[in-house]
Amino acid sequence: MRLSRTFLPILKETPKEAEIVSHRLMLRAGLIRQEAAGIYAWLPFGLRVLRKIEQIVREEQNRAGAQELLMPTIQPADLWRESGRYDAYGKEMLRIADRHEREMLYGPTNEEMITDIFRASVRSYKDLPMNLYHIQWKFRDEVRPRFGIMRGREFLMKDAYSFDLDKEGARHAYNRMFVAYLRTFARMGLQAIPMRADTGPIGGDMSHEFIILASTGESEVFCDKAILDLPIPGEDTDFDSDLTPVIDAWTTPYAATDEMHDASAYEAVAEDARMSARGIEVGHIFYFGTKYSEPMGAKVAGPDGVEVPVHMGSYGVGVSRLLGAIIEAHHDEAGIKWPASVAPFHVGLINLKPGDAESDAACADLERQLTAAGIEVLVDDVDTRAGAKFATMDLIGLPWQLIVGPRGLKEGVVEIKNRASGERSTVSPQEAVTRLVGELAS
Amino acid sequence: MRLSRTFLPILKETPKEAEIVSHRLMLRAGLIRQEAAGIYAWLPFGLRVLRKIEQIVREEQNRAGAQELLMPTIQPADLWRESGRYDAYGKEMLRIADRHEREMLYGPTNEEMITDIFRASVRSYKDLPMNLYHIQWKFRDEVRPRFGIMRGREFLMKDAYSFDLDKEGARHAYNRMFVAYLRTFARMGLQAIPMRADTGPIGGDMSHEFIILASTGESEVFCDKAILDLPIPGEDTDFDSDLTPVIDAWTTPYAATDEMHDASAYEAVAEDARMSARGIEVGHIFYFGTKYSEPMGAKVAGPDGVEVPVHMGSYGVGVSRLLGAIIEAHHDEAGIKWPASVAPFHVGLINLKPGDAESDAACADLERQLTAAGIEVLVDDVDTRAGAKFATMDLIGLPWQLIVGPRGLKEGVVEIKNRASGERSTVSPQEAVTRLVGELAS
């Protein structure tokens, strides 16, 4: 991809309205643009990152045995009357009347609709366990949207819903998602800590939030540092096996948000292992039993032929919010430092002198070789001075920079820079390709 | 993927509410479920097809030089006041008041918002040409939603918007999309005919609809059969070159919807070449000059330094509607006949006797080999009688069926069936793999 042909509106000045670093950097690096309070357009680079995050979430949901479908954004109010939440939900729900004055709403979540889809076609315990998820835009009419896409009104969420015959089955479904979440966030370069949580308006009696640590986090969290060293479950995890040992390992060290904080339990943690910090919620999982299946009549026949309401759980990931969370965790003064797994491109190939035949040829050749190896390359072919090029490349935060200019080429070398570490090395073009392929191709 | 672990709610009976075959088959084959009038959930198989259609659209947009971004579904009313369309649009626009009583709407299209994004950051003709597109859910509050997803209220649309310095540039942008559309529909197994069209509420003075022929189409169309034999532009099309010859070839034979029909021009077509039929609109492209850029102040400085409003066009594809259109064009009494490019899976591997060790082993081996070749396999491992398995497989319409049973295996053979032609052949398992890989791997 050529920078000269890319819609990447970089802002020179720091936008005043942005209170936190991720919001500032998302605006400055041309990732998003605000269209109304809490409502954003995703510009090409922002969308590329969003899609990569979405794809990681999808792959880990599928790996854990969940099936993807897609529910609409607009829902009929009547469904929510069945669960009793239409009146209970309050002003965060965006209520709409259509041309025939029928009451509708823009879905803030989908427990009712998925329960309706389930009850319409599933009759027997033999079809269980089942976990259905979608990745869809939601709307919550926050009274005061802020922090850019971190607390927006229209946001992209993955929400999964599990259906099981009994509590034991539901517990296993819960554990699967717990493990899937550990893997999901780790793949994006985030250290997410599961914390016992309040269940809030979703209801139910078992719930964990997944929180990443960031100084701009909205909630205070307390934990035992031991949790930071636990290994992430591998790709080869058997999700049909008993996952209790993994869950036990991750829920044994103390970890709680301030809402659930137990000062005496925290004080039982060795003093040098205690950590209190600010955190950002990026995922939330719930078991809520028959809260929706009972009133909505989502029942299956058990092995004995008797119909019982299914046990359900729901499992959310804030897909669009994750962009902000990743930036909060990966940035410096100069800009973003994307982890390779979610970067809009892997390599920024800086042509220091576009128009110089030798530089152009060397860049074209490097681009071709890297692209052939499956590496995504953004070529800065814009005719500006080197300082501006470096500043832009640092700001947009591609993991690797490959710098090509006439002076270096005369000596047969180019420069590689790692954005995260700042480390630079001067190598031959061929060596540069070998190095980058080694680092990036997977 | 195992059928036994798949959420695929097949309906035995033909749903009464469905008036046209694509709607009936989408409901029966478990692709969609209605959640409110004109609002559908996409069940796993429907979503798989939708994503494949979306991806073909995306690839052809990118090939033609368009850049993807993503605008939100909810828009502020004020933007539409700038163009004068807020009052003009009528009841099809879903109007919403948020908790602060601010007027919002669920976007039925995005000319205003994209013009706003453009004017905020583009200043010079040097950044042109530019074509920005997104694939996003839209809402049009149809007074009488019908035909399933063909005339729904919430629907997925690709809409692209081009920006050029002058009419000549805009004409080239228009031609690019024209060619991209020819390729897009052909890749989905559709014969789409471009027809001169009315510009409607979008405005402007150059417009083509892309229409596929189907007896259930909502508009009557008239054309010269010669257009059916024109070659589709190749993958190697140079979109920077002059595309006028291609456009001329496709716009010379007579083709018009009834709104634009010119009886005397039609009668000038040789009598045996005349064709009148019903058609379904799957795409629509417009050039509308400065209709939005002028009132909204989207200007760039030209080479002479003088600011001029940009010339724009917009280019829509009904992504979700295409599912219905493809089914209308590809089905028979027994069910859907998906073209391989959009099929939910490529091969339905029918295990006639799940539980039989030899059949299970043969199926596992075939699945492994086909999957390794990049072929998507749905294994029917459900314990039902053969007749039901065949009926389901014909209904869901995967392009190839591979039938494995104990009797055949004793003789060292399996059966291959092509869903579209009905052709069957009995071959060794190894020969079956070779045949299917040859047909499907690309």
Q: Which fold has domain B345-441?
A: Rossmann fold (3.40.50)
* Interchain CB distance below 8 Å, A7 and B130: yes
- At A165, is the pLDDT very low, low, confident or very high (cuts 50, 70, 90)? very high
A86: helix, strand or coil: helix
* Minimal Cβ distance to A36: which of B76, B106, B130: B76
pLDDT recorded at residue A14: 84
Residue B212: strand pairing partners: B192, B280
* Interchain CB distance below 8 Å, B70 and A91: no
* Minimal Cβ distance to A44: which of B65, B68, B94: B68
- Angle (CA) A228-A231-A236 rounded to 5° is 150
- At A204, is the pLDDT very low, low, confident or very high (cuts 50, 70, 90)? low
Q: Which of A98, A60, A49 is nearest to A76 (CA)?
A: A98
* Interchain CB distance below 8 Å, B96 and A94: yes
pTM for the full predicted model? 0.97
pLDDT at A360 over 90: yes
**Cα(B116)–Cα(A33) distance, integer angstroms:** 10
pLDDT recorded at residue B205: 66
* Interchain CB distance below 8 Å, B75 and A35: yes
pLDDT recorded at residue B196: 86
pLDDT recorded at residue B200: 67
* Interchain CB distance below 8 Å, A113 and B33: no
Residues B49 and B114 sit within 8 Å (Cβ to Cβ): no
**Cα(A255)–Cα(A193) distance, integer angstroms:** 8
Mean pLDDT of A368-393: 97
Q: Name which of A55, A104, A149 to mutate to probe chain B: the one with the most chain B Cβ atoms within 10 A of its Cβ.
A: A104
Q: What does the block give as tokens for B88?
A: 């003009």
pLDDT recorded at residue B400: 98
What CATH number is given for A3-335 in this structure? Answer: 3.30.930.10
Could you tell me how many helices (H) and strands (E) chain A has, helices first? 14, 23
Higher pLDDT among residues B219 and B162, named by residue: B162
Q: Which of B392, B436, B415 is nearest to B45 (CA)?
A: B392
Mean pLDDT of A3-32: 93
Distance, CA of A105 to chain centre: 25
**Per-residue pLDDT tens over the stretch A131-157:** 999 999 999 999 999 899 999 999 999
pLDDT recorded at residue A202: 59
Q: Where are the beta strands (DSSP E) in A102-175?
A: 103-106, 130-139, 154-164
Domain ranges of chain A: 3-335, 345-441
Mean pLDDT of A75-79: 98
Look up residue A42 and give its amino acid.
W
pLDDT recorded at residue A216: 80
Residue A68: strand pairing partners: A133
Q: Report the chain A residue with the minimal C-alpha distance to residue B62.
A: A1
Share the mean pLDDT of chain B.
95
* Interchain CB distance below 8 Å, B75 and A36: yes
User: b/e map of A194-230 (b: 16 or more CB within 10 Å)?
Assistant: bbbbeeeebbbebbbbbbbbbebbebebbbbebbeee
**Cα(B218)–Cα(B238) distance, integer angstroms:** 35
Mean pLDDT of A389-406: 98
* Interchain CB distance below 8 Å, A41 and B65: no
- At B13, is the pLDDT very low, low, confident or very high (cuts 50, 70, 90)? confident
* Minimal Cβ distance to A130: which of B7, B132, B143: B7
- Say what the ipTM of the complex is: 0.96
Mean pLDDT of B239-259: 94
- At B331, is the pLDDT very low, low, confident or very high (cuts 50, 70, 90)? very high
A219: helix, strand or coil: strand
* Minimal Cβ distance to A69: which of B44, B71, B73: B44
B-chain CB neighbours of A33 within 8 Å are: 117, 120
pLDDT at A322 over 80: yes
Pairing of strands A424-427, A414-418: antiparallel
Q: Which of B227, B233, B243 is nearest to B191 (CA)?
A: B227
Non-local CB neighbours of B431 within 8 Å, separated by 6+ positions? none
* Minimal Cβ distance to B94: which of A42, A96, A141: A96
pLDDT recorded at residue B201: 62
